Amino acid sequence: MRRPLAAALLILIMLSLSGTPLAATSARADSGTGSAVTVRAADYDPDVADSPFPNLAVTVSQTKDLIQQGITVSWTGGKQSTVPSTQTGGENFLQIMQCWGDEPGSNGTRPDRTTCQYGGLNVPGDSRWSTRTPETQIPPQDTDITAIGEDYFHPTVTAVPFRSATGVTLASVAGGARVPDAPDLNSNEFFTRYTTNEVSWAGSDADGKGSVSFELQTAQDSPGLGCGAAVTGADGAVSGASCWLVIVPRGDADASLTSITKSGLFWETWKHHLAVRLSFQPEGVRCAIGAAERQLSGSELMLGAVGQWQPTLCGRSGGAVYSLLTGPESDAALAANGTDPAPLALTSQALATDGGSDSLAYAPIAVTGVSVAFAIDRKARVIGAPVPAEVAAKERQAFSSMKLTPRLLAKLLTGSYTDALPLGANLSHISKIRNITQDPDFLAINDPEWASMNITGPGVGDLLVPLGRSDAAVAVWKYILADPDAAAFLAGKPDPWGMKVNPYYSTNAKVNPTKAALGLPAQDFPKADPVEFKGTANYDYADSINLVTWRPYTSGLQMGAYRVLTGDPQALGGWDPNSQPPKYGKGSRALVGLQAVIGLTDTASAEQYQVVQASLRNPAGRYVLPSASSLSAAASAMVKDKKQPQVVGFDPTSTAAKKAAAAYPLTMPVYAAVNPAMKDAAVRADYANFITFAAGSGQQPGTGDGQLPAGYTPLPDSWRAQARERRVPAGADSEPHDGDSDVCGYR
């Protein structure tokens, strides 16, 4: 099974499930699989005449081959939304949720509301239960789950139970009576505000249009939903349990009320829902028991591709299970350079030999990239110049484009904005710009709407970045340093608006307070500023915060995309003096409409989680989004490593890069690197098979087993030829294996 999230820096992934990221558009990733579905209220709602939005049409970007990922939900036919408050849910919006069961008697054509993961946010208009006013007429469908009130202190309550895919039912009202010692329907063993994926408010613009990224959860992430759980059919075929995506339109008021405060599961509201069936890849190991296990080590950039290739690789006669241990590519390449059996190294750079010999054969297997993902919702200023009406009408709608220069990226990586440093600390050593959305450098090149915003928070003060060493970090720093403006900024020169780099990140020893220049390009993303909030006397100064506490690392690039999808900036929660020991809690992820987070990720993860990616200025001076075509353009402009001609890379200082107007500048190749003189013939044979498949049929784009996920682009023909090239050193075993490989010592 392919597990999409990294739980630690070094993760052992038993890759035996195919993944299904999606293809990119100019802003938000959209499905290129042909499984997008549009559902219309006019066709689905039997009472459409009374629907809040009778012309509503909702498109779901992908409905097949799903895993734990993101999908894009977009719509037309709504009405201008009003934002929620602490008292009401807002007006004219949509609620979106994931459900697993079919409504009884519907022959599988409609979802059952009792199986929906909903209510975990427990905000006005989003709860599994609500009181009813005396004048409200209870629909027959809600009679059994409604307890009629006795007096003012015991009002009428309707509570929709949750029936889990595990066979457990949580109910607080049943048979028209309250259930003694009832569980909390909004926070329970199956979902809480920290784990639910529901969207309580998705707003429309003045034209009635809108779009959000929605997190799909599988049985591993939400056992109560059970989506993708392996189901064996009568013919022995294994499939994944399907689920539903449900969209509930909310108008301007609940029945018999003047605002929206009640549950979207109440029948008078639920009856207008729209739903789309979702088909999931089956979870669980699908490789033959007893198959040989072969280790791969290194690049996290390959998680998506290897995961999708695995079922085909291990399903072939004599196939092996390939497990990927992600970590520093340089360490993986060094381990693979000897002749003793070692994991096949996945790397984007040649081995740094430091005077030794590089005995590795480098077979290109992927073209992918690093990207900057973001989820930032509009929050117009209330003080200052009037906000244009057309901008105000988009309040809480997500921004769908962002341009970044190397200098702006440098600012996000160097703690140069005040929101990036601990609240309450001494910030006298940095400029007074709070975050990138308020930076004149940023506003000068981006949509004028940004200038009307008042967006704050640590999530836009810097980037979520992964912990540890990687080739991706080197590529990012080289991209920044190749730009004269960015290099000058890092050296201490102010930008045209007077902003300076946080001096602790300066590459100029005379500027850096440590009296030593920050060594760049680096293999990691250092948190170099020793700034600290020293705590308060009330808590004996135990509540101190340093830069790592304030802005934690993510466990990997893939987690960066997931955090952006869920609107989670990894912000520090409140201090809990009653905890043992006392500590800070975890900050909640932001609701849709209130998100403000930017994260470093890779293009495949960005596609998988359907997050918006920034356009980066390339060496030719163009702002380019990552896409199959821009990755290919960059691959065509790559130049050979001067010390290892088998390896190429996108060098921003090269003439080829400066002429490649269509190239995405953080495109990276990935190589399978192995010493052909490795002593173990069986291991060499399996690695040869892996390379042959990866550079061959594994380059066919698609969402099915054995195909290449979105976020990668197929290898150029010359690269495929290199992967097939014979590399048989003297004395190596040259016995044929499967008749299709001439790599790793096999013809």
pLDDT band at 549 (very low <50, low <70, confident <90, very high): very high
- Check pLDDT > 50 for residue 686: yes
Q: What is the pLDDT of residue 2?
A: 40
Residue written as tokens 């909390």? 184
- Check pLDDT > 60 for residue 676: yes
| DSSP string covering 459-480 | GGTS-B-BSS--HHHHHHHHHH
Cβ atoms of 202 and 73 within 8 Å: the answer is yes
- Measured in whole angstroms, the distance separating CA 276 from the mean position of its chain's CA atoms is 22
Q: What is the pLDDT of residues 344-369, one digit of tens each?
A: 999 999 999 877 799 999 999 999 99
How many angstroms separate the CA atoms of 24 and 307, rounded?
20
* Reported pTM: 0.91
- Check pLDDT > 50 for residue 735: no
Q: What is the pLDDT of residue 377?
A: 96
Where helices occur in 337-400 by DSSP H, the ranges are 389-392
* Average pLDDT score, the chain: 90
Cβ atoms of 466 and 8 within 8 Å: the answer is no
DSSP state of 396: T
- Check pLDDT > 80 for residue 287: no
Q: What is the pLDDT of residues 394-429, one digit of tens each?
A: 999 999 999 999 999 999 999 999 999 999 999 999
Cβ atoms of 52 and 249 within 8 Å: the answer is yes
- Check pLDDT > 80 for residue 20: no
Pairwise pLDDT comparison (374 vs 318), residue with the higher score: 374
Cβ atoms of 419 and 531 within 8 Å: the answer is no
**For residue 227, which of 312, 117, 122 has the smallest C-alpha distance?**
117
Secondary structure E strands in 23-143 = 37-40, 57-60, 69-76, 93-99, 129-132
**For residue 281, which of 228, 219, 214 has the smallest C-alpha distance?**
228
What integer is the mean pLDDT of 318-343?
92
What integer is the mean pLDDT of 126-142?
90
Environment class of 187 (CB within 10 Å of its CB; exposed 0-12, middle 13-18, buried 19+): middle
How many angstroms separate the CA atoms of 723 and 718, rounded?
9
Q: Torsion over CA of 188, 190, 195 and 196, rounded to 10 degrees?
A: -100
Lowest mean pLDDT among 8-12, 651-655, 736-740: 8-12
pLDDT band at 153 (very low <50, low <70, confident <90, very high): confident
State both tokens at 484.
Answer: 């004269």
DSSP state of 280: B
Where helices occur in 696-733 by DSSP H, the ranges are 717-724
Lowest mean pLDDT among 89-93, 143-147, 440-444, 678-682: 678-682
Lowest mean pLDDT among 102-116, 317-331, 594-608: 317-331
Residues 676, 682, 683, 687, CA torsion sign: positive
Cβ atoms of 591 and 396 within 8 Å: the answer is no
Measured CA angle at 505 (ends 605, 652), to 5 deg: 55
Q: What is the pLDDT of residues 84-95, one digit of tens each?
A: 999 999 999 999
Q: What is the pLDDT of residues 200-257, one digit of tens each?
A: 999 999 999 999 999 999 999 999 999 999 998 888 888 999 999 999 999 999 988 9
- Check pLDDT > 50 for residue 12: no
How many angstroms separate the CA atoms of 327 and 343, rounded?
12
pLDDT band at 285 (very low <50, low <70, confident <90, very high): low
pLDDT band at 283 (very low <50, low <70, confident <90, very high): confident
pLDDT band at 614 (very low <50, low <70, confident <90, very high): very high
**For residue 420, which of 399, 403, 437, 441 has the smallest C-alpha distance?**
437
Amino acid, single-letter form, for residue 216: L
Cβ atoms of 608 and 383 within 8 Å: the answer is no
